[in-house]
Structure 1
Amino acid sequence: MPDQSRFLLLDRDDVERLLQPADVMAAVKEAFVLHSEREGRVFPVVRERLATGGVFGIKSGDVPSQGLLGFKAAGFWPENRKQGGEPHQATVLLMDPATGRPLCMIDGNAITTMRTGAAGAWGLKMLARADSTSVCVFGAGVQAAVQLRFALVQFPSLSQARYVTHDGARNPQFEAAFSTFSSRCDLQLASDRNDAVATSDIVITATPGAGALFDAHALQPGTHLNCVGADTRGKRELPDGVLPRVRLVVDDHEQAKQIGETQWAPSTPCIELGDLLTGKHAFQRQPSDITVFDMTGLALQDLTVARGLYRRAVAEHVGSSIAWPW
C-alpha cells in the first residue's frame, strides 16, 4: 500500500560489502548486450562544468522489459582533495517505472569505479592481443588502479607493467596495491612516457583528461588502448593524428562523439562494443592493428550493477530501510 512504502539506502560500507567483481563483470556485459539489442535505452547525458570548479553530470536510462529505471548523478570536484576527500562523487537512484516512486539510493562511487574497470576488462578481452605481455597505465589514482587490476586478472600473460604519473614521481601507495602480483608482473614507474607507450602491448589512459599524454609517433602497430579519461566536452588524452590510424570501438556512438575521445575526430568509423559481444559485428584483429576502446560510460552499466546490489541487499537485509509514504 502507498502508506506502507519503504525506501532503501545503501551507503559506502554497504556497497563495498555487497560488490563482487565477478557480479560486476556479468552485469556490465548484460548492459552492453541490452544496449546492442536496443532493449535498454540510454538517455541524453547531462555533463556541465560548475562555477565551483566541479563537473556535474547525470546518466540515466531504462530497460522497459525488466522494469528497470534510474539514474546516476555524478561528477568530479578536484577541490575535495584539499579536504582529504575523493574528487569523484556519485549517487545512484533506482525507481519504479510504473509509479515513479524511488526504490533505492546507493552510494555510487564504488559502483562507478568497479563498473568502469569491468567495462575496460571487456574491452581488453574483445580487442587486445591475446599474447600481450606488457601494459602501460597513465595515472595512479583510483580508476588507474582498478583498470590495471582488471587487466592483470584478465591477462595472466602480463609480466611487465609501467605507470606514468603527472609529475613523474613514484607513487608508493599505487605500487603497494599491486604487491600480490609482484611474483609474476614487474611494476615500475615509467621514466619516459613515449618509450613506455612504444614498448607496451596495452596502454590504459585513466587521467582527468587535461590534454594529450604522449606523442602520436610513439604508438606502434599491434597496440590496444583503453581510453577512460575523456568523459566531458573538451577533455582528451590522445594526441592529434591517432584516431585516423586506429580501429575504433566505443560504448555508444553518439555519446563518444559528444564527450569521448571521438569528439576530436567524430567522422572516424567506429563500432559499439556491445555489437561485438552480441555478434552483430565480427571483429578479427590483425597483428598490425591499433585498436582503441573509447569508454564514456553507459547509464545501463550503473543500473544493472545497482539492481544486483539492491537485490542482494534485500535478500541479506543490508542497508537502511526507511518509511517513504506517498
Structure 2
Amino acid sequence: MPNDADLLLLAGPQVEKLLTPGDVLEAVREAFVLHSQRQGRVFPVVRERLDTGGVFGIKSGDVQAQGLLGFKAAGFWPANRTRGGEPHQATIMLFDPATGRPTCLIDGNAITTARTGAAGVLGVQQLARPDSACLCIFGTGVQARVQLGLALDLMPAIREVHYVTSRRVPDPAFEAVFAQRCRLLHAKDPDAAVAASDIVITATPGGGALFVAEAVRPGTHVNAVGADTKGKRELPEGLLARARVFVDDREQSRQIGEGQWYETLDVIEIGDLLTRKAQVSRKTEDITVFDMTGLALQDLTVARMLQRRATEAGCGARIPWPW
C-alpha cells in the first residue's frame, strides 16, 4: 500500500490570506450551478443540539464528475463569547473519492463567513430592484458586516442604511466600519426601518420573528440568513405567503430554514435562476425572499479552490498520512 501520502492542513490565518471575494463568489456560483444541473449532490444535514448548550452539524456532499467529496463539521457555541472566543466553529475536510483518503483539512470559519456573504450577493444581484436606495440590516456581527459590505459594493445606489440591534442600542464599532460608505441610522423601531427600506437583510441567530409582515412594502427584497436549524426563524408569519420565495435548496429550506414554518410553499432554487432553468420576470411590486440555509457544495467548492491555491503557493502544513 502507498505510504508516501500526506494531508494538507490550512489554519485560519492561512485561509484568510488565500480568500479573495471574487474567487469565493465564482466558487459559490459554481456550487449553485452544479446543484441546479444535479451534478452536485447534497447529503442529508445533521444538526443536533448538545447538552453543553451548543449546536453541532455536518453538511456533506460531492460532485462525482469532478472528484470532489467532503464535509463540513460546524456549529454554534454561544458560551464561547464568555471565553473570548468565536461562537461559530467550523472544520472542512476533503477526500479522495477513489480511496476515501483525506487530502485536506481546513479551518472552516472564514470559509463559512465568506461563502455565506457570496450567496447573499447573488441573492441581491438576482432579486433586488436595481434602483434600491435604502437598506435595513438586522444584526451587527461578523456576518451582518460581510452582508452589508458586499451589498454596498454591489448596489451603488444605496445611500441610506438602517441597522437594528438585539438590545435596541447603537453599536459604535459597527457604525465606525460603515460611516464613510453610507448614511447609517440606528433603528429603534424595526417595523418602521423595514417599511422605509428596499432591501432587508436578516443576519441574526434566528431567535424569532424580527418584524411584522405588514411592514414589508411591495417591491422589497429580503435576504434571510439566520435560520439554519429546526426551531429557528427570523421572518414573521405570513410573509412568505405574500412573497416570491427563492432558496438555495428546497429540502433544506423546508427542514431547517424559513420554509419549516409552512406546510406548503412554492419555491425556486437560486441555482435554477443562474442556469436559466427557471425564467423569472420580477415585477416592480413583487416581494422577493431568498432563504439561505447554506449548501455543503458551497463549502466544498471554496475549499477546493483554497486547496489548489495553497498547493500552488506552497503554503500550509503537510503531514504524513500513510494508508
**TM-score after normalising by structure 2:** 0.99
Aligned to 1:59: 59
Q: By how many angstroms is 1:176 displaced?
A: 1.8
Partner SS state of residue 251, structure 2: helix
Q: 1: CA distance between counterparts of 2:179 and 2:131?
A: 23
Aligned AA for 1:213? L
Question: Percent of aligned positions with the same letter in both sequences?
Answer: 65
Q: 1: CA distance between counterparts of 2:265 and 2:322?
A: 51
Aligned AA for 2:105? M
**2:270 is aligned with 1:273:** yes
Q: 1: CA distance between counterparts of 2:118 and 2:80?
A: 26
Which of these residues, 253, 266, 280, is aligned with residue 283 of structure 1? 280
Aligned AA for 1:210? G
Aligned AA for 1:192? D
Structure 1 segment 104-183 matched on structure 2, within 5 A? 104-181=104-181
Q: 2: CA distance between counterparts of 1:144 and 1:276?
A: 25
Aligned to 2:42: 42
Q: By how many angstroms is 1:273 displaced?
A: 0.3
Aligned to 1:223: 220
Structure 1 segment 180-195 matched on structure 2, within 5 A? 180-181=180-181, 185-195=182-192
Q: 2: CA distance between counterparts of 1:33 and 1:235?
A: 27
Q: 1: CA distance between counterparts of 2:161 and 2:105?
A: 37
Structure 1 segment 206-221 matched on structure 2, within 5 A? 206-221=203-218
Q: By how many angstroms is 1:190 displaced?
A: 1.0
Q: 2: CA distance between counterparts of 1:321 and 1:241?
A: 52
Aligned AA for 1:39? Q
Q: 2: CA distance between counterparts of 1:221 and 1:35?
A: 30
Aligned to 2:196: 199
For residues 149-174 of structure 1, give each alpha carbon's deviation from its aligned partner in whole angstroms, at most 9, with x where no partner exists: 11111111110111100001111111
Aligned AA for 1:103? T
Gaps of 5+ in 2: none
Partner SS state of residue 282, structure 1: coil
Aligned to 1:323: 320
Aligned to 2:257: 260
Q: By how many angstroms is 1:179 displaced?
A: 4.1
Aligned AA for 1:236? R
Structure 1 segment 13-24 matched on structure 2, within 5 A? 13-24=13-24
Which of these residues, 300, 303, 308, is aligned with residue 305 of structure 2? 308
Aligned AA for 2:224? C
Partner SS state of residue 233, structure 1: coil
Q: 2: CA distance between counterparts of 1:19 and 1:49?
A: 30
Q: 2: CA distance between counterparts of 1:13 and 1:178?
A: 24
Gaps of 5+ in 1: none
Aligned residue pairs total 323
Q: 2: CA distance between counterparts of 1:80 and 1:191?
A: 28
Q: By how many angstroms is 1:178 displaced?
A: 2.1
Aligned AA for 2:41? R
Answer with 92-101 or 259-268: which moved more: 259-268
Q: 2: CA distance between counterparts of 1:325 and 1:179?
A: 53
For residues 7-48 of structure 1, give each alpha carbon's deviation from its aligned partner in whole angstroms, at most 9, with x where no partner exists: 010001100110000000000000000000000000000011
Partner SS state of residue 57, structure 2: strand
**2:56 is aligned with 1:70:** no
Partner SS state of residue 177, structure 1: helix
For residues 43-77 of structure 1, give each alpha carbon's deviation from its aligned partner in whole angstroms, at most 9, with x where no partner exists: 00001111100000000000000000000000000
**2:227 is aligned with 1:241:** no
Q: 2: CA distance between counterparts of 1:305 and 1:42?
A: 15
Q: 2: CA distance between counterparts of 1:217 and 1:179?
A: 30
RMSD, aligned CA: 0.8
Q: 2: CA distance between counterparts of 1:291 and 1:28?
A: 21
Q: By how many angstroms is 1:191 displaced?
A: 2.1
Q: Which runs of 4+ in 1 moved over 6 A?
A: none
